[in-house]
Chains A and B, each alone.
Chain A
Amino acid sequence: MRELQRYLHDLIDRVIYLQDIKGENWQGCALLLDELQKLKEDFYQISEAKCQEKLESLENRLKILEDRAAAALTPYEIVKITRHPQRFTLLDILENVYDSYTELGGEGDINVDPAVICARAVISRRVGDKVFLHQVIVIGHEKGHGEEFRNGGSAKPWGNEKALRYMRVAETEGIPIHFYIFTPGAYPIEDYPGAAQQIARNLYFMSKLKVPTVAFISEGGSGGAEAIGLADIRLMASRGYYSVISPEGAAAIEGKLKEGERPSRELLEFCARQLKITAEDNLRLGTIDRIVPEPPLGARRYDYQFFKRLRYEMIRATDEVILRTKSLKAFRSYALKRKSEEENPPDEFDIYVRWELSEVEIEKLLDLRSKKYRAMSRHVLGLSKRCLKDYFEKTQDVGLRLYHDLRYGLLKQGQRVIQRMIEDLSGEGAAFLKQLTEPIKSAYDLLASKPRRTRAKVVAEETALIDLPELYVSPLALEDRTVTCPNAETHGCPDIWVPDLYGEFCGVCPNCGYHFPLEYQWYLSNIFDAKSVKEFNEDIEAGNPLGFEGYDKKLALAKKRTGRNSGIITFQARIGGISLICAMLIADFRQGTVGVAEGEKFIQACDRARITKRPFLAFVHTTGGIRIHEGTLGVVQMPRCTMAVREYIDAGGLYLVVYDNNSYAGPVASFLGCSPYQFAIRSTRIGFAGPRVIRETTGEDVPPDYHSAENALRRGHIQGIWDRRELRKKLYEAFLSMGGKNLYYR
């Protein structure tokens, strides 16, 4: 009888689960549930055999419904499966996939951040009659089964910092890392170390993490997922989702909903469909490597067969990462060959692979990781099709590389060695000669009436920055009217005459110093030396790779209005004679959002700076984050660009970021936020998420100056605030003081 009762409860759970996903009245679900509830009430009144018979017939009906539901799952229903409280979580994985584990950095709610779990775990494999144990570090999000303190798997900045700490531990110990992504997004608060800045730090570190890494995505919510998502192999659950923004967030933007307004089911379905968030979509787009199959309606916490499959996939993926770095072809072919294991994962493995890497293999691992991310999403730009142009560009690149290696590498290195030698010799010589000449000099001083020369000799001439011959004046200055400073109420600023404001004052309130927004052309003309700006890659064009409905029109309008192909301008320029490469995200084109084209242009600019051994400046006129219309193809620009920045800095480059107007979300949480030198122009707003998203996510209001540059400086996110009128001078000084003698190459 107890068995039957369990059977009945299990069926009720299954119907409720189905209702949660497909809706309460979907194809007679409610009727089936009523019948089960009635059976539950009359459970002791009917005979065991009759009950068994009834339950079996109800199960058959339920099974038909489940099959029908699984065959027609919409992307938004998949989102619901992923978020369902019955879905497996990281703790279930640690219990069922790994042999043993020890949680690090906290336990339960006594934790640095209960939404992030770090653990030292052991995973075993059987080869023949032998069992081999592997040590791994497991890092992931824990959603919990209804535990409120887990924040639904939204990692706070210090949670991501904890993850980074244990990545360092894994690197020190040389053991692989398994990342598990179960997050709807990062917890959007700016408290130190800051949501965006910490994700950027994690990405920067992971791009050259010297151990094999495998990531498994169940719920991949944008930046929060990327914080622990830059891995050598990315697996994804077949009923998981990986997206640039939640369907609810996209619906709020697309439907232009007011705060607190709930989107309709149709709008949510539309957005989920357009964003291409499912595992199949992501595999097709190339943002993940493999799909881990789940039961048709998603795996739940007691699906042991799924855990067996996951265990097999994680071991297999780690093997694959290791074997790719080995020179033995037989091993590599093993890794690439997947036999009939797709359906039923075997209990035994053919071979044992030691999860350790030599120095040479680590080099190869990092190289392969770099290549993987650099190639990701690039196919949508169609760059590889232009063979002849590619050939010319490659030849040009080789030429440039050779020239700059010679000019700033070989010759400069040689010159530097000789200079150092001369300095050493002259120092030694001077010390030796001083012993001999000092008595004579003393005697001379005693006898001579005139004192000896005391003025210090100038060793290096101080270069002064020459002012630009004529200033560019914004066309905004052509209006004959006055404007009111937004701080007039609090600071008592008088109205400002527009020709003065946008002309002489460079858009700065003379009373309180508030910076009015100016167009990007002002910066192009007033920061860099006259006629020194030489743009490149202007033909790389932003597109609509997901075929997002209605986006083509918006994109065409942006292109027509700005006369540009993307939201980023990359160019070579000079400031006071210092030659540099600059990438400028502009507000005019889709609010400076970053998609594949912008990411690719940024990477190419970064590479050009590396090849030509120039300092690299990222000037953010405005960025609204990752372009949601490009889905995960946009999100992967975060690891891609960070990888390029890391390689540039590791090669000796000087990377400087200057923010203006508004800078939010993905770019700040990756390739901008990872810069060691970040500055902001006064009145800039910097952050991870805007006030509305913070309010809706955390339920708490933020003060109006929460994202101000002053607060960003106070929290240590930026290193200084600059006045727009002094930007050219400040940049010049920054390049000289941070680059100094080694401006072009460390």
Chain B
Amino acid sequence: MALDNQKINQLLQSFRANPYRIFVVVTPHTGYLREFLVKEGDEVKGPAGKWLEKPGSPLFVLERERNPKTIRAKASGQVAKINWELQGRFVEAFTPVLEIKHTLTQKEIIAELLRKILHIVTAPEKARYFLSPELAQKIEKAGEGRVVVKPGDELAIMSFMKRETPIVHEGPPMVVFRVFFARGQMVDQGEPLFGLCLEEERPYVEKLIARVKEEWPT
């Protein structure tokens, strides 16, 4: 579906109506759910620190074979829908225990929107990726979001164990809206490399981002 003002409004409306992501916390294994360490409405924090070395807030204690294990939050947000009836009872693995209602940040909303509206080129293999020299030159000159690639144009070079494979653009001519990797970065298989959009869609994408930045605090 092509992007237009109506579509933009729809997308924004959907985020305005529900600016959350729900993380369902399940039991990692069987055991007795001994104690809840939070109550509904509590704010919890996910892992933090530069290396995510600070663990998230404790949620509940799950005990198996006299090994009490504190299950911690993997995302920040507000605790909701606690299954209180599980307290003190034996639970199976992957039983939903509670939900964390995570309020999306401006950055997350933009990322989610871009994922929805852009054509994403993903990494075919875990390798080092370099922007093709021609594209790099064009982006440097014109700026990101201004360069059009035609079918057969080289987008990037995948380099692994001295084997270099070009990644070629297929499909209609498109604008390179976002480059998701730095020069020579090791990217895992399936991770996004480029976000492309049709030339006529570009103003709408920019408008959409501007409106998100306007409406949501950082």
Residues of chain A within 8 A of B65, CB atoms compared: 481-482, 495, 497
Q: From A482, A701, A703, A704, give the contact of B67 (CB < 8 A).
A: A482
Residues of chain B within 8 A of A480, CB atoms compared: 66
Stretch at the interface among B48-56, B76-84, B113-121: B48-56
How distant is the Cα of A263 from the Cα of B69 in the complex, in angstroms? Answer: 35
Q: From B49, B50, B53, B64, give the contact of A495 (CB < 8 A).
A: B64
Q: Considering the complex, give the chain B residue whose CB is closest to the CB of A484.
A: B69
Instruction: Tell yes or no: A483 within 8 A of B by CB.
Output: yes
Minimum CB–CB distance for B90 against chain A, Å: 16
Q: Considering the complex, give the chain A residue whose CB is closest to the CB of B29.
A: A495
**Chain B contact patch, size range:** 10 to 19
Q: For chain B, what secondary structure do more than half of its interface residues adopt (helix, strand, loop), or is it mixed?
A: loop
Q: Are A482 and B66 within 8 A (Cβ)?
A: yes
How distant is the Cα of A704 from the Cα of B66 in the complex, in angstroms? Answer: 29
Of B64, B65, B69, chain A has the most CB atoms within 10 Å of the CB of: B65
Q: Are B51 and A484 within 8 A (Cβ)?
A: no
Question: Interface 1/0s, chain A 694-728, versus B by CB < 8 A?
Answer: 00000001011000000000000000000000000
How distant is the Cα of A330 from the Cα of B196 in the complex, in angstroms? Answer: 92
Q: Are A482 and B64 within 8 A (Cβ)?
A: yes
How distant is the Cα of A701 from the Cα of B67 in the complex, in angstroms? Answer: 32
Residues of chain B within 8 A of A481, CB atoms compared: 65-67
Question: Interface 1/0s, chain A 198-219, versus B by CB < 8 A?
Answer: 0000000000000000000000
Residues of chain A within 8 A of B51, CB atoms compared: 703-704
Minimum CB–CB distance for A160 against chain B, Å: 28
Minimum CB–CB distance for B201 against chain A, Å: 41
Quick one: which of A533-566 are within 8 Å of B by CB?
A: none
Question: Interface 1/0s, chain B 71-97, versus A by CB < 8 A?
Answer: 000000000000000000000000000
Of A480, A484, A497, chain B has the most CB atoms within 10 Å of the CB of: A484
Q: Considering the complex, give the chain B residue whose CB is closest to the CB of A703.
A: B51
Q: Are A483 and B67 within 8 A (Cβ)?
A: yes
Minimum CB–CB distance for B68 against chain A, Å: 9
Q: Are B53 and A704 within 8 A (Cβ)?
A: yes
How distant is the Cα of A482 from the Cα of B63 in the complex, in angstroms? Answer: 10
Q: From B29, B49, B64, B66, give the contact of A701 (CB < 8 A).
A: B49
Residues of chain B within 8 A of A703, CB atoms compared: 50-51, 53
Q: Considering the complex, give the chain B residue whose CB is closest to the CB of A700.
A: B50
Q: Considering the complex, give the chain A residue whose CB is closest to the CB of B65.
A: A482
Quick one: which of B181-206 are within 8 Å of A by CB?
A: none
How distant is the Cα of A495 from the Cα of B65 in the complex, in angstroms? Answer: 9
Minimum CB–CB distance for B216 against chain A, Å: 29
Minimum CB–CB distance for B156 against chain A, Å: 30
Question: Interface 1/0s, chain A 483-495, versus B by CB < 8 A?
Answer: 1100000000001
How distant is the Cα of A704 from the Cα of B67 in the complex, in angstroms? Answer: 25
Quick one: which of B24-71 are within 8 Å of A by CB?
A: 29, 49-51, 53, 64-67, 69
Residues of chain A within 8 A of B53, CB atoms compared: 703-704
Minimum CB–CB distance for A485 against chain B, Å: 11
Quick one: which of A427-479 are within 8 Å of B by CB?
A: 479
Residues of chain B within 8 A of A704, CB atoms compared: 51, 53
How distant is the Cα of A482 from the Cα of B62 in the complex, in angstroms? Answer: 13
Q: Considering the complex, give the chain A residue whose CB is closest to the CB of B66.
A: A481
Residues of chain A within 8 A of B29, CB atoms compared: 495
Q: Considering the complex, give the chain B residue whose CB is closest to the CB of A483.
A: B67
Question: Interface 1/0s, chain A 586-629, versus B by CB < 8 A?
Answer: 00000000000000000000000000000000000000000000
Minimum CB–CB distance for B52 against chain A, Å: 9
Q: Are B69 and A701 within 8 A (Cβ)?
A: no
Q: Considering the complex, give the chain B residue whose CB is closest to the CB of A481.
A: B66
Q: Considering the complex, give the chain A residue whose CB is closest to the CB of B72.
A: A489
Q: Considering the complex, give the chain B residue whose CB is closest to the CB of A494.
A: B29
How distant is the Cα of A701 from the Cα of B50 in the complex, in angstroms? Answer: 8
Residues of chain A within 8 A of B69, CB atoms compared: 484
How distant is the Cα of A703 from the Cα of B29 in the complex, in angstroms? Answer: 30
Minimum CB–CB distance for A505 against chain B, Å: 16
How distant is the Cα of A701 from the Cα of B48 in the complex, in angstroms? Answer: 13
Residues of chain B within 8 A of A483, CB atoms compared: 67
How distant is the Cα of A595 from the Cα of B115 in the complex, in angstroms? Answer: 61
Minimum CB–CB distance for B212 against chain A, Å: 31
Q: Are A484 and B66 within 8 A (Cβ)?
A: no
Q: Are B67 and A484 within 8 A (Cβ)?
A: yes
How distant is the Cα of A495 from the Cα of B67 in the complex, in angstroms? Answer: 9
Residues of chain A within 8 A of B66, CB atoms compared: 479-482
Q: Considering the complex, give the chain B residue whose CB is closest to the CB of A497.
A: B65
How distant is the Cα of A439 from the Cα of B49 in the complex, in angstroms? Answer: 80
Q: Considering the complex, give the chain B residue whose CB is closest to the CB of A701.
A: B50
Residues of chain B within 8 A of A495, CB atoms compared: 29, 64-65, 67
Minimum CB–CB distance for B43 against chain A, Å: 21
Residues of chain B within 8 A of A701, CB atoms compared: 49-50
**14 residue pairs A–B, Cβ–Cβ below 8 Å:** A479-B66, A480-B66, A481-B66, A482-B66, A484-B67, A495-B64, A495-B65, A495-B67, A497-B65, A701-B49, A703-B51, A703-B53, A704-B51, A704-B53
Given contacts A480-B66, A701-B50, 15 further A-B contacts (CB under 8 A): A481-B66, A482-B64, A482-B65, A482-B67, A483-B67, A484-B67, A484-B69, A495-B64, A495-B65, A497-B65, A701-B49, A703-B50, A703-B51, A704-B51, A704-B53
Q: Which 9 A/B pairs are nearest by Cβ-Cβ distance?
A: A481-B66, A482-B65, A482-B67, A704-B53, A703-B51, A481-B67, A481-B65, A701-B50, A704-B51
